[in-house]
Amino acid sequence: MSNNKSELMSPDEKFSAIANLKEKLEDNFIALGELLSDIKRSKLYRFKGYETFKDFVEAEYQLSGSLASKLAVTYDLYIVEMDVDESSMKEIGLERLQLIKPLVQKADWDIRDEWLKKATDTPTNELRSEIKEMRRQEKEENTDLKKVFIDQYMEKMVTWFNCSKSELNFKLALYFQDADLDDVKKLVKERQRAFEQETQTSKEETP
């Protein structure tokens, strides 16, 4: 059902097609994703009297809203945006496509191609373990960078106030007791985002 064949179908034909395709999800996840993406984007579920896409798929097809959205997003990402051919997608399979999806969504094209090749050549369990280990290492690296930042900050502040760390906490409490916490929260979020973007850029630039 590539090349937007769903656009040629009537609403009732689309609804019937979903029911038929759902029976063999793994074999039909591309065609199913196309239909669900079309219905979600065009809000065609209102044709059946539903206010939300989630309510529609759960009531009509006993398909969880999260799974239906995943199928639609998978079609949009790999077929529409990345123009991956259907045979390659079927060879990789839905589960492995889901595993690499967070890694390819915002990646450059060469990185996307690398992950697609890896997903094609790597068994599911091995791929899952590799991604899990990669995320663990990234988390450790980010934790280490935050620890360095905290240590540098603490050293600077205790030197400036010429006090102990516990006394510094008291002084910071005095400073923040009347602060506008909404403004503080907003500022912290902005600076945290900038910190994370800077550290990510540094990691990418490191040979």
Q: How far apart are CA 11 and CA 34, in angstroms?
A: 14
**Exposed, middle or buried: residue 185 (CB in 10 Å: 0-12, 13-18, 19+)?**
exposed
Q: Please check whether residue 38 is in contact with residue 72, taking contact to mean a CB–CB distance below 8 angstroms.
A: no
Cα-Cα-Cα-Cα dihedral sign, residues 98, 99, 103, 109 = negative
pLDDT of residue 204: 58
Q: Please check whether residue 29 is in contact with residue 94, taking contact to mean a CB–CB distance below 8 angstroms.
A: yes
pLDDT of residue 205: 53
Query: What does the longest C-alpha to C-alpha distance in the chain come to?
Result: 75
C-alpha separations of 165 from 105, 152, 161, 178 in Å: 43, 13, 10, 21
* pLDDT by residue, tens only, the chain of 207 residues: 444 566 677 888 888 888 777 768 878 899 999 999 999 999 999 999 999 999 999 999 888 999 999 999 999 999 999 999 999 999 999 999 999 999 998 888 889 999 999 999 999 999 999 999 988 887 777 777 788 888 888 899 999 999 998 899 999 999 888 888 889 899 999 988 888 777 776 665 554
Supply 199's token pair: 């550290």
pLDDT of residue 2: 46
Supply 65's token pair: 């809203």
pLDDT of residue 6: 66
pLDDT of residue 198: 79
Q: How far apart are CA 137 and CA 139, in angstroms?
A: 5
Q: Look up tokens 């369990």; give the residue.
A: 125
pLDDT of residue 85: 93
Q: Please check whether residue 54 is in contact with residue 65, taking contact to mean a CB–CB distance below 8 angstroms.
A: yes
The residue ranges of every structural domain in the chain are 5-122, 134-205
pLDDT of residue 92: 95
pLDDT of residue 207: 46
